[in-house]
Structure 1
């Protein structure tokens, strides 16, 4: 069982962070030949990214149910895009394979990208293990000036 961080925690970051969500739709569960290669491509990409600290990926969380979903945190959208276009990384071949496997509609993929800035994001974790953005960049106990969502959203970063 993961270690629970007792009490209230939040993030403390003065940098831009890119949030990337990617999910898979298994439209025909019996067509394992179509969705299994797509399903197994993501763990290979995550393993590659974990072994490359310069990739810009800060961390991720992975869910299998109700539909496969990966929530990733990146230093920048440029680094995310660089990984996607890198011929030496596992993404391009997986994308090519996916394009062939999805022509008949048995499997699908979706993704969303968000760029967040200090004072325009908020996070709270109460009696929870490290997860999400807190796992990716670390947490700090809630203290004076960060006890409400309004305070956490109005953080001004000094230059």
Structure 2
């Protein structure tokens, strides 16, 4: 990734963006037979989504550790829910496999959070960074005098 000097911000699309965080937590590291299949399921889903841009995934970024995190950006909540409910997509068999292999035995945890971001309800700044986060998933624009502070980037929503 090429680092771009200066200050940049993300331009949230007019109709917003959906931020979906998903991850897993390895509770019993020695039970590789339980958590490894869960870990391997996500790359299959990401490959499928890359091959089907109409599904609505705009971008993603992983972080690894005992608790993993995949930060994803979606065109809309409707796109995210359609993918999650699509029986032909890799999410459904992965979820069935998790319930069959792990269920509630506690060896591995899974979690997710969903946020709807509307224009004016979120702000971001990236200094001397390659396109990253929401700016990489949507549109990255230079910071201008009109967007020089977090309060200004938030617009009316940032006023107290």
TM range, normalised to the smaller chain? over 0.9
For residues 61-140 of structure 1, the aligned pairs below 5 Å read: 61-103=61-103, 104-140=105-141
1:101/1:107 contact within 8 Å kept: no
CA distance, structure 1, for counterparts of residue 101 and residue 79 of structure 2 = 27
What is the aligned residue count?
155
SS at match of 1:29: coil
* Residues 65-117 of structure 1: per-residue CA shift (max 9 Å, x gap): 25221000001111100000101100000000111222311011000000010
CA distance, structure 1, for counterparts of residue 143 and residue 56 of structure 2 = 27
SS at match of 2:22: strand
CA RMSD of aligned residues (A): 1.3
User: Please, which runs of 5 or more residues in structure 2 have no aligned partner?
Assistant: none
Query: Is residue 8 of structure 1 aligned with residue 11 of structure 2?
Result: no
- What stretches of structure 1 move > 3 A for 4+ residues in a row? none
- Which has the larger share of helix? 2
Deviation of 1:155 after TM superposition, in Å, equals 6.2
Q: Residue 32 of structure 2 aligns with which residue?
A: 32
CA distance, structure 1, for counterparts of residue 15 and residue 133 of structure 2 = 16
What is the TM-score when the length of structure 2 is the normalising length?
0.92
SS at match of 2:146: coil
Q: Residue 148 of structure 2 aligns with which residue?
A: 147
What is the TM-score when the length of structure 1 is the normalising length?
0.93
CA shift in 2, pair 1:120/1:154, >3 Å: same
